[in-house]
């Protein structure tokens, strides 16, 4: 029996755990040496090989014999289908999800290139990532590839989005962090949103593209605090707190400046950025719109209250440790989606159980929306009709 136990569940957040040469076959040869010289790339190389981080380790008969029994116990590089394309469909079969939206791990944040001066390399890295992701996900229609579109150079961003859609991306990922020289709502970027709307794919934000914690907060005179992985370069309780800050500001700017109204069929998502912030953010935007409407024509032109625009066009994936039931009660039935974070450690060993516990007081319809319908709505035409509600899963419901 698959992990999902024949329930209709779509997964809004899953990952690859790419090896450090994953982009090499997809990179413009002219740019590859510059890419390999990047400090961010060198930092990955210095970590060296670990158990499970090779095709040979995953081909071992003993390892493969334990795949099903250890599906949610083996994490990161040790997980089945983490980086071998031919294994990922079987991993999805064992998970039992109707589809998975698939994100990078290695390339989150685009190696800091968005904040640099080498825009050729910035967009070259994004293009290599997009080719790599769509190639990996071509192994199975249920694997929905995300493509990264930097927003720093408007003309290059338009070209990047066009190429990503041509490659077969099922969602465009943009940074939460504001571009350095213009707002994310700049009208010059309207062709990006227009292409996504026309293609029927959502635009999503994901952890990794946000404003990072000021490192001075760590200078507290106390011993270092280990992160999830035992090091200090992932999240701790303090660095967890600012994760949604840039997303809140960027999404609010897009709403206030009318981008969501100009493209009313375009859906937006916030993935692995948490969701406990969403109810207060919605109320704060409504308060801001009410307070400043007299002086700001843009607010008077909005088609609805910001919170209503959120319910219409925005979807979010709570962390498994958050009270998703409370978020639904305070943000609306339309907003929240299930995610497993497979194969990351942060997703835990039993995400369905953890979400079921906090959804116990929700109605059957609210749970149905959480586990499938809100994801189907966000993905729109990007999710093939036969994948939305597969007969073998809906019959078991």
Which tens digit of pLDDT belongs to each residue from 84-127? 999 999 999 999 999 999 999 999 999 999 999 999 999 999 99
Using a pLDDT cut of 70, give the percent of the chain over it. 95
| Separation CA 278–CA 318 (nearest Å) | 10
How many C-beta atoms lie closer than 10 Å to residue 381's C-beta? 12
| Cβ contact 340:224 at 8 Å | no
Is the model's pLDDT at 50 over the cut of 70?
no
Concatenate the DSSP letters of all residues of 281-301 into one string: HHHHHHHHHHHHTTT-HHHHT
| Separation CA 163–CA 165 (nearest Å) | 5
Is the model's pLDDT at 144 over the cut of 60?
yes
Q: Where are the domains of the chain?
A: 10-394
395: confidence class by pLDDT, cuts 50, 70, 90: low
The CATH superfamily of 10-394 is Metal-dependent hydrolases (3.20.20.140)
Residue 191 C-beta-side C-alpha neighbours within 13 Å = 11
Average pLDDT, rounded, for the chain = 94
Is the model's pLDDT at 171 over the cut of 80?
yes
- For residue 367 the two structure tokens come to 């749970």
Give the pLDDT confidence score for residue 299 in this predicted structure. 97
Using a pLDDT cut of 90, give the percent of the chain over it. 84
Residue 151 C-beta-side C-alpha neighbours within 13 Å = 27
Give the pLDDT confidence score for residue 292 in this predicted structure. 97
Average pLDDT over residues 24-44: 92
Average pLDDT over residues 337-341: 98
Nearest to 91 by CA among 340, 294, 394: 340
Element containing residue 143 per DSSP (H, E): strand 143-148
Q: Which of these ranges, 144-158, 202-216, 276-290, has the smallest mean pLDDT?
A: 202-216
| Separation CA 342–CA 91 (nearest Å) | 10
Is the model's pLDDT at 329 over the cut of 70?
yes
The DSSP 8-state label assigned to residue 375 in this structure reads: H
235: confidence class by pLDDT, cuts 50, 70, 90: confident
Model confidence pTM above 0.75: yes
Nearest to 274 by CA among 325, 225, 344, 336: 336
| Separation CA 130–CA 164 (nearest Å) | 6
The DSSP 8-state label assigned to residue 371 in this structure reads: I
Is the model's pLDDT at 392 over the cut of 60?
yes
């Amino acid at each position: 029996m698959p992990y999902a136990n024949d329930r209709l569940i779509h997964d809004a957040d899953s990952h690859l755990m790419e090896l450090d040469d994953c982009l090499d076959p997809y990179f413009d040869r002219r740019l590859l040496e510059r890419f390999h010289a990047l400090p961010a790339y060198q930092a990955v190389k210095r970590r060296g090989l670990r158990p499970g981080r090779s095709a040979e380790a995953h081909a071992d008969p003993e390892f493969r014999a334990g795949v099903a029994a250890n599906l949610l116990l083996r994490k990161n590089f040790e997980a089945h289908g983490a980086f071998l394309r031919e294994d990922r469909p079987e991993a999805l079969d064992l998970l039992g999800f109707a589809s998975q939206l698939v994100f990078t791990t290695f390339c989150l944040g685009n190696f800091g290139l968005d904040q640099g001066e080498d825009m050729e390399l910035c967009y070259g890295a994004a293009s290599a990532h997009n080719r790599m992701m769509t190639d990996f996900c071509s192994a199975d229609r249920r694997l929905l590839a995300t493509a990264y579109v930097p927003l720093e150079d408007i003309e290059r961003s338009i070209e990047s989005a066009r190429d990503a859609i041509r490659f077969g991306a099922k969602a465009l990922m943009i940074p939460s962090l504001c571009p350095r020289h213009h707002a994310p709502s700049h009208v010059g970027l309207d062709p990006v949103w227009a292409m996504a709307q026309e293609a029927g794919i959502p635009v999503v934000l994901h952890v990794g593209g946000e404003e990072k914690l000021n490192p001075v907060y760590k200078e507290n005179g106390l011993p270092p605090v280990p992160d999830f992985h035992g090091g200090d370069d992932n999240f701790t309780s303090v660095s967890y707190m600012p994760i949604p800050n840039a997303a809140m500001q960027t999404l609010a700017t897009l709403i206030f400046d009318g981008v969501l109204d100009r493209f009313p069929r375009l859906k937006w998502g916030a993935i692995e950025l948490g969701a406990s912030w969403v109810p207060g953010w919605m109320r704060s935007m409504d308060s801001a719109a009410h307070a400043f409407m007299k002086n700001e024509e843009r607010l008077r032109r909005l088609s609805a209250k910001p919170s209503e625009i959120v319910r219409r066009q925005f979807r979010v994936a709570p962390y498994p440790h958050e009270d998703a039931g409370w978020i639904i009660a305070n943000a609306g039935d339309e907003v929240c989606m299930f995610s497993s974070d497979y194969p990351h450690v942060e997703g835990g060993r039993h995400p369905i159980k953890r979400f079921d516990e906090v959804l116990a007081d929700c109605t059957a319809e609210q749970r149905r929306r959480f586990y499938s319908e809100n994801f189907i709505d966000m993905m729109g035409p990007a999710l093939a009709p036969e994948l939305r509600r597969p007969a073998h899963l809906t019959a078991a419901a």
